């Protein structure tokens, strides 16, 4: 079981950091920031540490937009002197991921000082990095402590606060997907982890107004929710609770933007918009009565392996297709007996699936919360096209080996519901 990081959210993050480093005798440090995060918090932390007599190597990553890639990793490595030092990441997700990776690979601990409540990954062990144009998540380690400075977080750009809120709103659909995966596909499940993640989500929903106003209480609630969600992932050892179909859409868009060398979009902004779209899938599932289901199951045939592989090749191209096919092997290798068992389970558990689907708010409600927080609510507002929404709905689910609401529609022969055919196609 991993040790949870010490978490402090307050007005005195620097003092708490100094106390912590003194108490633990962590005298030698590497502070990593980018120009922005150095200006808003890193500089005062740097000066505070030096003033208190700490030995600090400071790395301020340059460039307009810092990306968690091989170049950034190299920049930090070049500044590092190969002695035992504790790393301090002053920044949001990107800086934290770069620092998480370098500190892990140099066998040093790291401390996180978030500068924006933008993502739930601060406490995570995964470092998503772009290497050779491809994004992969590398297993590293969690921070030993998180010192969140409330005034800095509350002054973060509105779009980043809204993105953090979007990442949390996505838990409605990820938690529902996880329950469906457990019922129909024996996905590993843990009630306490699901409850903990739901509590983290509820903190944010209960405080949606103050988060939208970016008041200190609101930002504290959002940060608590984000960190708690991350700690639940850490405890479970995977992102099941916090990442479902909405994250698969988001990962797909992220990859596509990367391929096309277009500017990246905030993770939580994509997740929030995707959550409104996945809420529509749940609305469609709620509309399927037992009578409808009987007809649907009568019509549904086992998807053909070759067709699945063909679709993956068409969507991801020859370079990535083999990797995606490998990820999807449990689905692609399904035989008639497996399919029969799956459809039987769907029939037997339909009432529970309906109960799960009722936990997901209407798309309009989710969009309302996002709008109030100042985040995008449609692909259009996000800067993506309708076609890119259809592509994510068609292909996003191939990116992970998980049974979700989207997979359920796939095996019911209702892909068209997800990809824009609408509810009519249920009874076609």
Q: Rule CB under 5 A: which residues touch Zn ion? A: 167
Which of 30, 231 has the CB closer to Zn ion? 231
In the complex, the smallest distance separating the C-beta of residue 193 from Zn ion, rounded to whole angstroms, is 16
The count of C-alpha atoms lying within 13 angstroms of the C-alpha of 75, restricted to the half-sphere facing its C-beta, is: 20
Which of 85, 267 has the CB closer to Zn ion? 267
Rg of the chain over CA atoms, in angstroms?
Answer: 22
In the complex, the smallest distance separating the C-beta of residue 339 from Zn ion, rounded to whole angstroms, is 32
In the complex, the smallest distance separating the C-beta of residue 164 from Zn ion, rounded to whole angstroms, is 9
The Cα–Cα gap between 412 and 274 comes to 21
In the complex, the smallest distance separating the C-beta of residue 273 from Zn ion, rounded to whole angstroms, is 13
Strand pairing report for 55-61 and 28-34: parallel
Which of 26, 171 has the CB closer to Zn ion? 171
In the complex, the smallest distance separating the C-beta of residue 222 from Zn ion, rounded to whole angstroms, is 14
The Cα–Cα gap between 416 and 423 comes to 9
Got the DSSP string for 21-62? HHHTT--EEEEEEEHHHIIIIIHHHHHHHHHTT-EEEEEEE-
b/e code 347-382 from CB counts within 10 Å (16+ = b): eebbeebeebbeebbebeebbebbbbbbbbbebeeb
Distances (CA, A) of 423 to 172, 195, 292, 377: 21, 31, 12, 21
In the complex, the smallest distance separating the C-beta of residue 418 from Zn ion, rounded to whole angstroms, is 20
Which of 34, 167 has the CB closer to Zn ion? 167
Residue of minimal CB distance from Zn ion? 167
Which of 167, 177 has the CB closer to Zn ion? 167
Which of 202, 295 has the CB closer to Zn ion? 202
């Amino acid at each position: 079981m991993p040790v949870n990081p010490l978490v402090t959210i307050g007005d005195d993050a620097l003092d708490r950091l100094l106390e912590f480093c003194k108490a633990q005798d962590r005298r030698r440090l590497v502070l990593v920031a980018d120009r922005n995060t150095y200006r808003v918090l890193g500089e005062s932390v740097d000066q505070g540490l030096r003033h208190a007599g700490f030995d600090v190597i400071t790395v301020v990553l340059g460039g307009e937009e810092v990306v968690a890639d091989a170049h950034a990793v190299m920049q930090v490595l070049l500044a590092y002197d190969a002695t035992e030092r504790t790393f301090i990441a002053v920044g949001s997700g990107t800086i934290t991921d770069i620092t998480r990776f370098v500190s892990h690979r140099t066998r040093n601990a790291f401390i996180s000082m978030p500068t924006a409540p933008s993502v739930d990954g601060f406490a995570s062990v995964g470092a998503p990095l772009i290497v050779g144009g491809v994004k992969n998540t590398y297993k590293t380690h969690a921070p030993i402590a998180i010192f969140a400075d409330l005034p800095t977080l509350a002054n973060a750009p509105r779009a980043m606060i809204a993105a953090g809120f979007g990442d949390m709103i996505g838990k409605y659909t990820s938690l529902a997907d996880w329950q469906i995966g457990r019922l129909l596909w024996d996905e590993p499940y843990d009630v306490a982890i699901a409850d903990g993640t739901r509590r983290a989500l509820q903190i944010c929903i209960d405080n949606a107004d103050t988060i939208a106003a970016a008041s200190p209480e609101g930002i504290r609630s959002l940060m608590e929710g984000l960190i708690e969600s991350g700690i639940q992932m850490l405890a479970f050892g995977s992102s099941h609770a916090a990442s479902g179909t909405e994250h698969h859409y988001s990962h797909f868009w992220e990859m596509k933007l990367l391929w096309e060398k277009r500017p990246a979009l905030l993770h939580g902004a994509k997740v929030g918009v995707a959550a409104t779209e996945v809420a529509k899938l749940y609305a469609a599932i709620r509309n399927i009565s037992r009578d409808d289901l009987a007809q649907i199951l009568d019509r549904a045939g086992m998807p053909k392996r070759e067709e699945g592989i063909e679709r993956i090749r068409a969507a991801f191209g020859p370079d990535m297709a083999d990797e995606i096919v490998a990820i999807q092997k449990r689905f692609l290798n399904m035989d008639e007996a497996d399919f029969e068992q799956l459809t039987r389970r769907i029939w037997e558990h339909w009432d529970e699936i309906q109960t799960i689907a009722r936990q997901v708010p209407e798309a309009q409600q989710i969009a309302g919360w996002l709008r109030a927080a100042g985040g995008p609510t449609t692909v259009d507002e996000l800067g993506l096209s309708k076609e890119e929404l259809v592509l994510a709905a068609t292909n996003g689910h191939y990116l992970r080996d998980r049974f979700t609401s989207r997979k359920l529609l796939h095996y019911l022969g209702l892909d068209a519901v997800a990809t824009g055919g609408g509810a009519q196609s249920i009874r076609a």
